[in-house]
Amino acid sequence: MSGDSRLAADELLAAPDALTAPVLAYLEQLRVERGYAANTLAGYRRDLARLIGFTRTLAIAEWSVLTPEQLQRFIAGEHRRGLVPTSVQRLLSSCRGFFLHLVREGVLCATPAAGLRAPRARRKLPEVLDVDEITRLLDFPALTPEDIRDKAMLELFYSSGLRLAELCGLCWRDLNLEEGLVRVQGKGGKVRDVPVGRMACQALETLRAASGASPDWPVFKGRNGQAIERSTVQSRIRVIAQRQGIDKRVYPHLLRHSSASHLLESSQNLRGVQEFLGHADIATTQIYTHLDFQHLAKVYDAAHPRARRKR
């Protein structure tokens, strides 16, 4: 979220009235009761501030007056102004959640978002590193304290398919290296136990021996001794990828995608990969079946006698 859009949202939500008060109450519920991450809340805040701005142009003073036709006009207008389909989908999702909240609270009898559809977005397949690229990325000597930390960090990312926020929030008590498990708190505060591979366990044992490991200490520390910042993790991964000669943009979620894709390719167990990643909906995990099929198609084109093209 840019500084300008954040400022605009803050200005629109600053004056308490019949429009802003329910929005602020809803955002607080998402934060406290559902444990939404700060970045997710910022997206909801921005989307609902846009909605408030639109309703004020219509001189609407309370939510019960907003009609489905007006809400449809708002969504269509944002799309016409250049909001990409995926962002329009998220905007409509934010509105749906808010209006359902108002129905549950008895403010509305029915949601004006019922039946509204966002433009269909072409689903982009996630990028992945192949096994050789992963091996090259992780195969570097850990000679300095920073390298020891970074090697453990990258090994754990790939081994356990963690999200960036999950990795940054880890304390030593969350790790059971003897059993090869890590307990992480994912989206919505959901807790899951994830396997940790042998190489990641070895790298983490080296880190623990080098840095000490009180149970309440963060596993990965920044320069101030506190839990490492997300931006630091992203920066370190970029630096290591360049140093190791990886000719791709490498970022934390790319390691998660690669881990999931390689696991599915080897196991063909979609439900297991869903649990491994902590996806609430298996439809989210199914994106990796498309990647797996894409890989199969390339192998087929290259190897099948009836598929090979003549040179």
Catalytic residue IDs:
163, 187, 253, 256, 279, 288
Retrieve residue 290's tokens: 């498309």
C-alpha span between 279 and 141 (Å, rounded): 34
81-to-9, 74, 84, 276 alpha-carbon distances in Å: 18, 11, 9, 39
Instruction: Quote the CA–CA distance of 1 and 80 in Å, as a whole number.
Output: 20
For 297, the token pair is: 């198609």
**Sheet of 175-176: strands edge to edge?**
175-176, 181-185, 191-195
Q: Are 83 and 91 in contact (CB under 8 A)?
A: yes
Angle between helices 145-160 and 131-138 (to 10 degrees): 160
**Do residues 101 and 29 lie in contact, with contact meaning Cβ atoms separated by under 8 Å?**
yes
Q: Which residues pair with 181 in a beta bridge?
A: 176, 195
Q: Are 43 and 56 in contact (CB under 8 A)?
A: no
φ, ψ of residue 110 to 5 degrees: the values are: -150, 155
Burial class (CB in 10 A: 0-12, 13-18, 19+), 44: buried
